């Protein structure tokens, strides 16, 4: 062979991913064998937050765009679903539309709304770099949060109940196990899509911009289209996670879009390993698992969680799983 093939860096990550997937697939079985049905609810939360974390990692890890407002997409995705469900059941029509509970209508609508918001926010925020970018995304996130708080029709501070999960022909989302597998399937599809994007020409340029913007620009790269596209894709994935969360919890609140939620998502990504895509999924499991375990023990669970985060960050820049996953793929 004259041509040296590039090392397939994803191999070990792929095996770990498959192992993780097998574990997630087996969870309902484990839950029924051990007689712990609440386990399914816990793992559904892992999966939904994992979806949001993978999306955030796409911009944070591969574009070096530290978005401190990503919860706005989580919140918006959830609210779009909850609001259309609200109008479909008891709220009357909105702008002449009766609302809907059909997943095939409402979910894409929610994702599209998040994509549009992402495009608008990204277009403005991406004119800045570094700390300014963090501040602008934070500001937009807070704007969305306060808009949601001020929506008295939709519950304001208290949020909005969703009486029923979205309908989908042939699949009953109201069964916990079914809904869990739906979330898991979406997580798998979305993660594979992100891996594909990262390894594509587009992904190569996006990461090139992160590593040396001057070099990339002097090779003819206009940074904005690459970064903005990544931001929009990320917003849509986070929005999908919000959609799932609204369905899972049966309730949306402005807190879904608050800056603390953005911080939580960022902590999950950093905990799991920035720029690994799979790491943040595991990060979600560790973060939410710890939160669950610690909050059962004390309501001041952050007192323990904080130092854990600090230790993980100090111990290595690749998070808990970055080392195993071969760090960033470029």
Minimum CB distance to other proteins, residue 58 (Å)? 12
Helices marked H in 61-88 — which ranges? 71-86
Handedness of CA 242, 243, 246, 252 (dihedral sign): positive
Q: Which is nearer to other proteins, 102 or 224 (CB)?
A: 224
At residue 168, φ and ψ (nearest 5 deg) are -145, 130
Rounded CA-CA distance 100/109 in Å is 11
Applying CB under 8 A, which residues contact other proteins? Answer: 3-7, 196-197, 199-205, 207-208, 211-212, 214-223, 225-226, 229, 328, 330
**Count helices and strands in the chain by DSSP H and E runs:** 12, 2
Q: Which is nearer to other proteins, 100 or 229 (CB)?
A: 229
CB count within 10 Å of CB 222 equals 10
Looking at residue 301, the DSSP 8-state letter turns out to be: T
Q: Which is nearer to other proteins, 3 or 152 (CB)?
A: 3
Q: What is the dihedral of CA 281, 58, 165, 112, to 10 degrees?
A: -170
Minimum CB distance to other proteins, residue 315 (Å)? 20
Q: Which is nearer to other proteins, 6 or 22 (CB)?
A: 6
Minimum CB distance to other proteins, residue 193 (Å)? 9
Minimum CB distance to other proteins, residue 282 (Å)? 22
Contacts of 160 (CB under 8 A, 6+ apart): 79, 82, 83, 86, 154, 251, 252, 253
Minimum CB distance to other proteins, residue 189 (Å)? 15
Q: Which is nearer to other proteins, 174 or 211 (CB)?
A: 211
Q: Which is nearer to other proteins, 9 or 295 (CB)?
A: 9
Minimum CB distance to other proteins, residue 217 (Å)? 5
Rounded CA-CA distance 40/162 in Å is 20
Handedness of CA 113, 118, 119, 123 (dihedral sign): positive
Q: Which is nearer to other proteins, 167 or 328 (CB)?
A: 328
At residue 18, φ and ψ (nearest 5 deg) are -65, -40
Minimum CB distance to other proteins, residue 291 (Å)? 32
Q: Which residues of 107-146 are buried (b: 16+ CB within 10 A; e: fewer)?
A: bebbbebbbebbeebbeebbeeeeeebbebbbebbbebbe
């Amino acid at each position: 062979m004259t041509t040296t093939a590039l090392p397939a860096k994803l191999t070990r990550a792929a095996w770990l991913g498959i192992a993780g997937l097998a574990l997630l697939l087996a969870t309902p079985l484990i839950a029924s064998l051990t007689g712990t049905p609440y386990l399914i609810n816990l793992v559904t939360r892992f999966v939904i937050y994992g979806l949001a974390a993978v999306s955030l990692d796409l911009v944070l890890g591969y574009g070096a765009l530290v978005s401190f407002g990503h919860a706005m997409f989580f919140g918006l995705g959830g609210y779009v679903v909850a609001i259309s469900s609200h109008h479909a059941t008891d709220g009357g029509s909105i702008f002449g539309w009766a609302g809907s509970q059909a997943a095939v209508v409402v979910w894409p609508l929610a994702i599209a709304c998040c994509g549009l918001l992402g495009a608008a926010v990204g277009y403005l925020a991406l004119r800045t770099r570094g700390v300014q970018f963090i501040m602008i995304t934070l500001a937009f996130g807070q704007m969305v949060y306060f808009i949601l708080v001020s929506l008295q029709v939709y519950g304001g501070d208290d949020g909005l109940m969703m009486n029923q999960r979205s309908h989908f022909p042939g699949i009953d989302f109201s069964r916990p196990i079914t809904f869990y597998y739906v979330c898991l399937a979406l997580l798998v599809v979305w993660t594979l899509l992100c891996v594909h994007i990262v390894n594509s020409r587009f992904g190569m340029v996006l990461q090139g911009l992160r590593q040396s913007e001057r070099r990339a620009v002097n090779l003819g790269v206009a940074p904005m289209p690459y970064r903005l596209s990544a931001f929009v894709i990320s917003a849509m994935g986070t929005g999908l996670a919000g959609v799932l969360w609204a369905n899972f919890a049966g309730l949306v609140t402005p807190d879904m879009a608050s800056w603390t939620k953005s911080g939580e998502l960022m902590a999950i990504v950093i905990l799991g390993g920035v720029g690994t895509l799979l790491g943040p999924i595991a990060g979600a499991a560790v973060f939410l698992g710890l939160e669950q375990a610690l909050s059962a023990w004390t309501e001041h669970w952050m007192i323990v969680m904080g130092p854990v985060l600090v230790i993980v960050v100090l111990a290595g820049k690749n998070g808990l799983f970055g080392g195993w996953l071969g760090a960033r793929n470029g």
